Structure 1
Amino acid sequence: MTSTTPADPSAPADAGPAPQPATGTDDPLRHGLRTRHLTMMGLGSAIGAGLFLGSGVGIATAGPAVLVSYALAGALVVLVMRMLAEMASAVPSSGSFSVYAEKALGRWAGFTLGWVYWFTIVMVLGVEVTGVARIVTGWAPGVPQWAVALAVVALFAVVNLVGVRQFGEMEFWFAAVKVVAIVAFLVVGTALVLGLLPGTDPVGTSVLLEDGFAPTGVAGIAAGLLVVVFAFGGIEIVTIAAAEAEEPQRAVARATRSIVWRVLLFYVGSVALMVLVLPWDAPALQQGPFVAVLDLAGLAGAARLMEVVVVLALLSAFNANVYATSRMAFSLAGRGDGPAVLRRVSGRDVPWVAVVVSVVLALVAVALNWLLPDALLGILLNAVGASLLVVWLLVAVSQLRLRPRLEAEARAAGRPLELRMWLYPWLTWATLAALAGVVVLMATDAAARAQLAATTGLVAVVVAVYGVTALVRRRRARAHAGG
């Protein structure tokens, strides 16, 4: 049984200059998530294949100095998340940064950011399920990849449709497995560094400094920053899920405070262990950095163990991203910036049409991955490569403009802001300058430059679509007024 719910009363009208967006209450959705769900959701989304597999690429690019790259990227993410959490704790919404961009800059910004993010995550869904299928068919060669992909999509469609509490529980335990794996790696790696494992001696800094801390120089650190900066993507799901949390203002503030520091510890701690025990240019680090360290520690079956962890990481990310895309589409539809059918909710208060659309398009992305790996898919993946940067930039601009308004609203309600950005507005401006610096770095790197150009093209297409839809709305409004 399904029901169609109207758009929020405060949603923008079909015409007129930059109307106010929905308040973010998302009334048709059930408040079934707890703080522990939000915390583990954010951790699980940020700790994915980018850490388990991609950290070796960063080390090969910058050497041990990749730690500087991770520290810089991590600091940038901490600042962006603080800004986003400030807005989300004041105005929890399933549209998150899309809603805040609309409130700060106008309807065009909310439309653009919402649909760019939605398209990005749909493409990522296809990559994640393809990764799972390839690993699983390596274990069972007789099983076709399409069958594994279909099973994964069907399973998580059901998980996302049965209810937000059930989704939160599954995501909690998926993420918990990844966190336990990281903690276990940190323990084993530390024991290896200190010479506490059988047949080992303390490693000191001989391996770390064998070719110097920064063997590829400042250019290597800059290139490493481009490799690692987007690895932190995924934490933003906490602010999307805030609308369905119990006591959303407090839940998102508590979850965000704990997530960013834990993610930094996991990333920087893991990479520090890798460069302490293995030469930065060791081929094993690029093939599988975690496996390389565990093999050195004498842990039998390390490769297969990490394959299992990577599969769980991809499944967890897939599950969370189905949630994120469906809620973003639900929010856009509620504000009149998407098909009204995406606003339909089930008897369990789940936006079931938006969920179904997300999983179907994930299958389409999988098909593109197999049929056109070097053609259309490559173009699409390039287009989403720098989209996280677009989100971060508009988050900073939105916070810069909304902070005075949020403070005024809080004073009028007789309460303080639950969470504040540090040293406003100076630190916000510094963050914007740092993000602009990342854009400049991307423009100097051939591969990153292609991603930047493709993402710019994607944003331009979405803005053009908004312009056409806005023109149609105005004509309809004039025709209705004249009739």
Structure 2
Amino acid sequence: MARKNLKRGLKNRHLQMMALGSAIGTGLFYGSASTIALTGPSVMLAYLVSGIVIYFIMRMLGEMSVHEPVAGSFSYYATKYWGGFPGFLAGWNYWYCYIMVSMAEITAVGIYVNYWWPDVPQWLSALICLIVITAINLVNVSAYGETEFWMALVKVVAILSMIFLGAYLIITNPLGYPANISNLWNYGGFMPNGVWGLAMACVVVMFSYGGIELLGITAGEAEEPDRSIPKAINQVIWRILIFYVGTMFVLMCLWPWNQVGMESSPFVQIFDNVGIPAAAHILNFVVLSAAVSVYNSAIYSNARMLYGLAEKGDAPKVFMMLSARGVPIVGTLVSSCITLIIVVMNYLFPSQIFMYLFAVVVISAVINWVCITLTHMKFRKYCEENGVHSKFKSILYPLTNYVSLAFLVGVIVMMTQIPDMRLAVIALPIWLCILYAGYRFKVSRHNKSNVE
């Protein structure tokens, strides 16, 4: 089978750093200020609660990935344990979601490059990034893993530096530790906008965690998946506590919550107050690396999802074509070429396009997580009926499945209360109908070919 030709070239260090990097995106660097405005110091609670739910979902995906490490990830599992349409929906929704993510991140690349060189057209920066990253992904899976390792390292070092420098400021602050801890409750309380503000913040926070399910996609090419995948997933909760909750704790202690990010990014504030004059330039380099990193991962994962869809007959067989080095070359090129659309859109609508894409992406991410949660329940039922013992069990099944589903439904409900996200919720049933029509077309063609 063609699946055997995929090269297991992702080393344990690649997976560990990819897992670290997937939990740190531009949402933390630039989006944290708006999240803080919604909920104040309780933003720490928003990141913690949402992060715990994401960890539950990752353990569900991890259990299935360790049991059967394949390229198609949860699309393959949905087909096997749930049915044809759920697998079709999960795979194509994931691919579509990350095509949109690719477009959003490559647009962000143009924005960040403009900070240094405002005369460079946004579309040109996007095109150069697309060509370079596509070329890297066509070399082999190790080239992708190595590139992602170093770009993720930039993000990790930036976050850790901010936390250490922030801790230094807390201790040496004129107020003196622990007096500055009172910033956590002095300005309207720990939860100044109440439970409603916290719930609204959870919606925004959840999308900071988008992409973390990439670990499941890597299972088909990971060396020693039985060992490396559980190790990477088990560390997710600690990353969330350190990188998100830890960062927010430092920010909330250093400044009154209603002053964080008012004049610049919270990260720029940290570096400025330590006396680093190039703070804004450092941050711009970090967020540029973060955007390129996410685009790199999106191209990688989209090619593998198309490969997995083709393997089970949900996409044309041409997507199973591999290069001599085991790269799904057609899937990589097609995903990259479709992303070219955004180069044209950046030329036509350079200022508005990012928010257009964001509205489309957010609901797709929720569908991905719902599919993983429901598929895992079907998987466990299959295991119980057939006496199968998985090696890496999820936590507190099925309680965590129900908790996760309830939380995700709550996210969709809260999205209707945010004007910029309301359109995505309205479009959800339309998108599901389009996917179902595509599935019925695929089934009818399959039946017709069998008759002939």
TM-score (norm 1): 0.88
Assess, with a 3 A threshold, how the Cα gap between structure 1 residues 381 and 463 changes in structure 2: closer, same or farther: farther
In the alignment, which of 402, 421, 428 is matched to residue 394 of structure 2?
Answer: 421
SS in structure 2 opposite 1:271? helix
Whether contact under 8 Å (1:60, 1:286) holds in the other structure is no
1:260-285 Cα distance to aligned partner (Å, 9 max, x none): 42133201111111111122222635
SS in structure 2 opposite 1:299? coil
- Answering whether residue 190 of structure 2 is matched by residue 213 of structure 1, we say yes
Partner residue of 1:469? 442
Higher mean C-alpha deviation, range 187-196 or range 437-446: 437-446
In the alignment, which of 92, 98, 102 is matched to residue 75 of structure 2?
Answer: 98
Assess, with a 3 A threshold, how the Cα gap between structure 1 residues 377 and 307 changes in structure 2: closer, same or farther: closer
Assess, with a 3 A threshold, how the Cα gap between structure 1 residues 48 and 410 changes in structure 2: closer, same or farther: farther
1:279-314 Cα distance to aligned partner (Å, 9 max, x none): 222263574111122222332211111011111111
1:173-206 Cα distance to aligned partner (Å, 9 max, x none): 111111111111111011111227xx77335223
Assess, with a 3 A threshold, how the Cα gap between structure 1 residues 439 and 149 changes in structure 2: closer, same or farther: closer
1:227-285 Cα distance to aligned partner (Å, 9 max, x none): 11111111111110111011222221111112342133201111111111122222635
Partner residue of 2:298? 321
In the alignment, which of 160, 173, 180 is matched to residue 204 of structure 1?
Answer: 180
1: distance between equivalents of 2:350 and 2:124? 19
Partner residue of 2:84? 107
- Aligned-pair Cα RMSD in Å: 2.1
Q: Aligned residues: percent identity?
A: 37
**Which amino acid in the other structure matches residue 201 of structure 1?**
G
**Which amino acid in the other structure matches residue 442 of structure 2?**
T
2: distance between equivalents of 1:310 and 1:383? 22
2: distance between equivalents of 1:357 and 1:57? 35
In the alignment, which of 18, 28, 38 is matched to residue 5 of structure 2?
Answer: 28
SS in structure 2 opposite 1:284? coil
What does 1:311-390 align with in structure 2 at a 5 Å threshold? 311-372=288-349, 381-390=358-367
What does 1:157-236 align with in structure 2 at a 5 Å threshold? 157-195=134-172, 201-202=176-177, 203-211=179-187, 212-236=189-213
**Which amino acid in the other structure matches residue 294 of structure 2?**
A
- Answering whether residue 416 of structure 2 is matched by residue 440 of structure 1, we say no
Deviation at residue 146 of structure 1 after TM alignment: 2.7
1:328-380 Cα distance to aligned partner (Å, 9 max, x none): 01111111111222111101110111111111122212322442468888665
SS in structure 1 opposite 2:145? helix
2: distance between equivalents of 1:80 and 1:262? 15
Partner residue of 1:131? 108
Aligned length: 450
Whether contact under 8 Å (2:24, 2:155) holds in the other structure is yes
Deviation at residue 381 of structure 1 after TM alignment: 4.2
Partner residue of 2:272? 295
SS in structure 1 opposite 2:9? coil
SS in structure 1 opposite 2:442? helix
Partner residue of 2:287? 310
Deviation at residue 439 of structure 1 after TM alignment: 2.5
Assess, with a 3 A threshold, how the Cα gap between structure 1 residues 446 and 438 changes in structure 2: closer, same or farther: same
Higher mean C-alpha deviation, range 283-292 or range 420-429: 283-292
2: distance between equivalents of 1:336 and 1:217? 49
SS in structure 2 opposite 1:205? helix
1: distance between equivalents of 2:26 and 2:257? 20
2: distance between equivalents of 1:130 and 1:357? 19
Any gaps of 5 or more consecutive residues in structure 2?
none
2: distance between equivalents of 1:419 and 1:297? 44
Whether contact under 8 Å (1:122, 1:365) holds in the other structure is no
**Which amino acid in the other structure matches residue 148 of structure 1?**
S
Partner residue of 1:399? 376
Partner residue of 2:429? 456
Partner residue of 1:20? none
TM-score (norm 2): 0.94
Assess, with a 3 A threshold, how the Cα gap between structure 1 residues 464 and 232 changes in structure 2: closer, same or farther: same
Higher helix share goes to which structure?
2
Whether contact under 8 Å (2:103, 2:357) holds in the other structure is no
2: distance between equivalents of 1:300 and 1:378? 31
**Which amino acid in the other structure matches residue 406 of structure 2?**
A
